[in-house]
C-alpha cells in the first residue's frame, strides 16, 4: 500500500535558522507531490506542489522543495525561518485521480 | 468566493447520537472529499465524490455516510456516534479529478463524542 513518511514529528528552531523537513513516499508510479501548512487553529493551505518538470519547486513564503525521484523524497526547505512559520506541515502524495495520501505531519516551533 | 465552508465549527455528541456535518463549496468543483485528522495519523480519507450523484469510500468509511445531490454540497453523516469518531473533520474540493489539480480545504469541524 502507498504510504507517506514524515520522520520529524516535532522540530524546534530559533528564528533565522535553516529548515529542512523530510518526506518520503512509497509508490513506484507517477506521483504529484504537495506540501500543506496548517497554522494554529486554521485549515490546511497549499505551500507548494510538484507535478512535472524542474524538480526544485518554489512555493509561498520563501519555501521550496526538491523532488528526488531516486530517493522517493520531497523534502521541504527554507533558508531562514521566522516565528510566523510556527505551524504543522503535511506532505501529501497523489497517486491517482482520487488518491491523496498524507503524512502524519511535522510540528514546527520557531522560537523568537 | 467563500471557498469551502463547513458547519458547525465545534460539536459535542453523546455516544449513539447522530448528526450531519455540512460542507459546501461555491467554486463549481467536481471533486469533494471528507478527511479526519487525528494526532500522529495525519489526514485520512473517509469518503469522496467525483460529481453529483456519485460517491465512493475512502480509507476509513465505517460509521459514516455521504450523499452528493448537488455539486455544491457534500454532507457527512454520523449514524451512531462513537468515542472513536472524536476527531477534526476537514472537507476538501478540487476542480476535477485530474491528477494535476490541488485540493482546497475547509476550516474544519472539531467533534467530540463522549
Whether B60 and chain A come into contact, CB under 8 Å, resolves to: no
Q: Which three cell numbers stand for residue B112?
A: 467530540
Query: Does the distance separating the beta carbons of A98 and B31 come in below 8 Å?
Result: yes
Across A36-70, b (16+ Cβ under 10 Å) vs e yields: bbbeeeebbebbbbbbeeeeebebeeebbbbbeee
pLDDT in tens, A11-35: 999 999 999 999 999 987 888 899 9
More confident: B111 or A52: B111
For residue B50, is the peptide bond before it cis, meaning its omega torsion is within 30 degrees of 0? no
Residue A7 confidence (pLDDT) = 86
**Three-state secondary structure call for residue A107:** strand
Type and span of the H or E element at A7? none
List the single best residue of A32, A45, A57, A98 to mutate versus B (max B Cβ within 10 A): A98
Alpha carbons B34 and B56: distance in angstroms, whole number: 11
pLDDT in tens, B24-73: 999 999 999 999 999 888 899 999 999 999 999 998 999 999 999 999 99
Amino acid at each position: 500500500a502507498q504510504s507517506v513518511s514524515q520522520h520529524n514529528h516535532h522540530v524546534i528552531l530559533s528564528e533565522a535558522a535553516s529548515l529542512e523537513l523530510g518526506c518520503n513516499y512509497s509508490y513506484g508510479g507517477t506521483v504529484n507531490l504537495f506540501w500543506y501548512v496548517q497554522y494554529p487553529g486554521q485549515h490546511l493551505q497549499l505551500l507548494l506542489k510538484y507535478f512535472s518538470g524542474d524538480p526544485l519547486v518554489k512555493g509561498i513564503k520563501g519555501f521550496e522543495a526538491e523532488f528526488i525521484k531516486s530517493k522517493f523524497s520531497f523534502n521541504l526547505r527554507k533558508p531562514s525561518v521566522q516565528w510566523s512559520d510556527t505551524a504543522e506541515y503535511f506532505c501529501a502524495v497523489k497517486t491517482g485521480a482520487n488518491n491523496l495520501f498524507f503524512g502524519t505531519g511535522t510540528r514546527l516551533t520557531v522560537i523568537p | 468566493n467563500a471557498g469551502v465552508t463547513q458547519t458547525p465549527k465545534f460539536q459535542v455528541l453523546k455516544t449513539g447520537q447522530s448528526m450531519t456535518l455540512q460542507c459546501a463549496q461555491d467554486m463549481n468543483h467536481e471533486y469533494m472529499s471528507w478527511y479526519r485528522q487525528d494526532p500522529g495519523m495525519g489526514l485520512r480519507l473517509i469518503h469522496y465524490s467525483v460529481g453529483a450523484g456519485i460517491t465512493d469510500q475512502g480509507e476509513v468509511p465505517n460509521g459514516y455516510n455521504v450523499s452528493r445531490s448537488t455539486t455544491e454540497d457534500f454532507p457527512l453523516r454520523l449514524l451512531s456516534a462513537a468515542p472513536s469518531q472524536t476527531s477534526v473533520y476537514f472537507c476538501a474540493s478540487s476542480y476535477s479529478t485530474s491528477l494535476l489539480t490541488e485540493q482546497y480545504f475547509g476550516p474544519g469541524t472539531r467533534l467530540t463524542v463522549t
